[in-house]
Amino acid sequence: MKIFLHQKNNNIGNLQNAIESIIQTYQQSDKVGLHLFPELFLGGYPLQDLCLQKPFISQYEKSLEQIRKVANSANDNNILFGGIEYELDKSSEIIHIYNCIYHLGPKGLTSVYQKQLLPNYDIYDEKKYFTAGEKNGLIEINDFRICLFICEDMWHSSTHKTDPVKKIFDELQTQNIALDAIINLSASPFHAGKQHTRLKRGQEISTSLNAPFFYVNQIGLNDEILFDGRSFILDGSTQLQADSFREEVLEYSCKKNNLATLPVDSKTPSEIENTWENLFRANIDKEDKRLTPISESELIEIIQAQTFALNEYAKKTKMKSFLIALSGGIDSALVVAIAHLASKASAIPVEAVYMPSQYNANISYELSKQLCDNIGINLKVINLKFIHQTIKMTFKDGIGEDLTGLADENIQSRLRGNLIYARSNQTGAMVINTSNKSELAVGYSTLYGDSVGAISLLGDLYKSEVYQLARFINTHFNNIIPEEIITRPPSAELREGQKDEDSLPPYDRLDLILECLLSYQFSLDEICQLGIKQDELNHVFNLYHLAEFKRFQFCPVVKLKSKSFGFGYRNPILKELRFDY
């Protein structure tokens, strides 16, 4: 039997597009076989509350009817796609919702499997919406005995009450039957380095259940979460893999298994633990007492993810250009460089605006200009000095007190936020935020100032990783970023002679502390054992917790790592930590 893996990018809520894909695939006759579409292909993932809303539910039920109507017993195509199964009461209120697999085939449209493992940690909220299925996903199509999984089902964790892979293994052994194919329909979020684990686990399951493994993942950007695709087929020594972040169809001729039963020496798959400590391992080099540097292959993945994210966001929101406030510092320079790389793929133009106040060094302008020259765009300049003076004067007139200190520093940053959004309103441009993960962690940014943006590109990269990525881009893309931007000491330039290191530890130490804290896996004592002084740790710990109110109002953070700020990170603003360190 021919099996087709449709690695698709379908917008959340766009039922019509999914219906058309399904029906067209079903009705075509040049590629006949079993066609696989990702988890929740009809509907979108993650739907969040949308799946609870009646306008959506009534439309969803109609969509299923539309698909059901095309089923035809003379058609040799079979389609498996991810979708929603609603169990409603008499007054159309929800009793249960299942994350399920539909089979469109000669007998019509039927739900053939309900997801058993509902991830509900970090960015996942599936238990909020779905009820877990309880049955194994054993079905037969064209005499092929197939076992179905949905995404998380293939994983194992001691915290889950059930283990779908083991359940299937036991059923096969008890009933003395063999499989011809294992299929996993997924909407598996990207983070750098993840594919390796998927492949490894797929191989384990394929070996244990003695059948080829078909893994179909969606691609796309849904707010903060990227889906990288990289669907794959594992069959003995054969390994086929689709590209990342690109729609693609993988095709494979699957042979029926010659074995009637599982080989006698089959073993239950080793128990790769999908637990918190494995999923969110702190990237710490304990010997060198520093953050583990990102590998080159992961840096490539990160650039692919970032450029895809920018283009997707702009496409989905119909924004016309990328707009960045350039400061002469490393973060905004890196964002411009990445936007430039994105622009090469999408032709969406990049615009940079430099907005100096009286505290900005001339070199900040020169370096920004040089960067823009390197990528062939103009640098627009709005000089804040006069506006800043006017505001100070008017403020004093009205309030009776001088604007000084932090209030005066923040006003410059907020003016930039204000003006970059004026430009965005004028042109329909997408403002890209330039804060990094270290700044976000300790609140080293001005709310409504440099924290503004449609989306944060660097919010999942520590400052030391920002440097790493900038150097990597320079090496591979003609030194786009002027060297001095990378080597000059970082400064917000909001007062005379300001340097980041006046108020924060050096970034290599700061990032080590932060990774320990943000992975949740180090006690304060354990962080001290990495050579961090108590005072410094306390300072960072307090800054981190106090900055919660800023993170609360921050824009979506493009997720690049396993543990990120954003939707999966939930901590109270109002708290009173009285730890005795």
For its own copies, the closer of residues 300 and 379 by Cβ is 379
CA distance 358 to 388: 9
Supply the minimum distance, in Å, between the C-beta of residue 127 and its own copies. Answer: 5
For its own copies, the closer of residues 110 and 383 by Cβ is 383
For its own copies, the closer of residues 299 and 326 by Cβ is 326
Supply the minimum distance, in Å, between the C-beta of residue 11 and its own copies. Answer: 4
For its own copies, the closer of residues 415 and 504 by Cβ is 415
Supply the minimum distance, in Å, between the C-beta of residue 423 and its own copies. Answer: 6
For its own copies, the closer of residues 84 and 233 by Cβ is 84
Count Cα neighbours of 294 within 13 Å in the Cβ-side half-sphere. 27
For its own copies, the closer of residues 315 and 471 by Cβ is 315
Count Cα neighbours of 326 within 13 Å in the Cβ-side half-sphere. 30
For its own copies, the closer of residues 282 and 335 by Cβ is 282
For its own copies, the closer of residues 110 and 427 by Cβ is 427
Supply the minimum distance, in Å, between the C-beta of residue 336 and its own copies. Answer: 17
Supply the minimum distance, in Å, between the C-beta of residue 553 and its own copies. Answer: 5
- Residue 424 CA, chain-centre distance (Å), reads 25
Please enumerate in sequence order all residues whose Cβ is within 8 A of that of 270, keeping only pairs 6 or more positions apart, or say none. Answer: 204
For its own copies, the closer of residues 103 and 388 by Cβ is 388
Supply the minimum distance, in Å, between the C-beta of residue 182 and its own copies. Answer: 28
DSSP 44-100: -S--GGGGG-HHHHHHHHHHHHHHHHH--TT---EEEEEEEEEEE-TTS-EEEEEEE
Task: Name the residue type at position 144.
Answer: F
CA distance 104 to 66: 12
Q: Is the peptide bond before 46 cis (omega within 30 degrees of 0)?
A: yes
Count Cα neighbours of 79 within 13 Å in the Cβ-side half-sphere. 30
Asked if 383 contacts 422 with a C-beta cutoff of 8 angstroms, the reply is no
Q: Which two tokens stand for residue 541?
A: 């710990």
What's the burial of 392, exposed, middle or buried (CB within 10 Å: 0-12/13-18/19+)? middle
Supply the minimum distance, in Å, between the C-beta of residue 524 and its own copies. Answer: 5
Radius of gyration of the chain (CA): 26
SS3 2: strand
Supply the minimum distance, in Å, between the C-beta of residue 124 and its own copies. Answer: 8
CA distance 309 to 315: 10
Supply the minimum distance, in Å, between the C-beta of residue 52 and its own copies. Answer: 5
Supply the minimum distance, in Å, between the C-beta of residue 361 and its own copies. Answer: 19
Supply the minimum distance, in Å, between the C-beta of residue 34 and its own copies. Answer: 28
Strand ranges inside 120-264, DSSP E: 138-141, 144-150, 181-186, 213-217, 219-222, 225-228, 232-235, 238-241, 248-253
Supply the minimum distance, in Å, between the C-beta of residue 391 and its own copies. Answer: 6
For its own copies, the closer of residues 180 and 493 by Cβ is 493
What separation, in Å, do the N-terminal and C-terminal C-alpha atoms of the chain show? 64
Q: Which two tokens stand for residue 195?
A: 């594919």
Residue that has been written with the tokens 């999984």 in this structure: 149
For its own copies, the closer of residues 32 and 387 by Cβ is 387
For its own copies, the closer of residues 276 and 477 by Cβ is 276
Q: Which two tokens stand for residue 16?
A: 């019509």
Q: Which two tokens stand for residue 572?
A: 């109270």
Q: Which two tokens stand for residue 91?
A: 């007054």
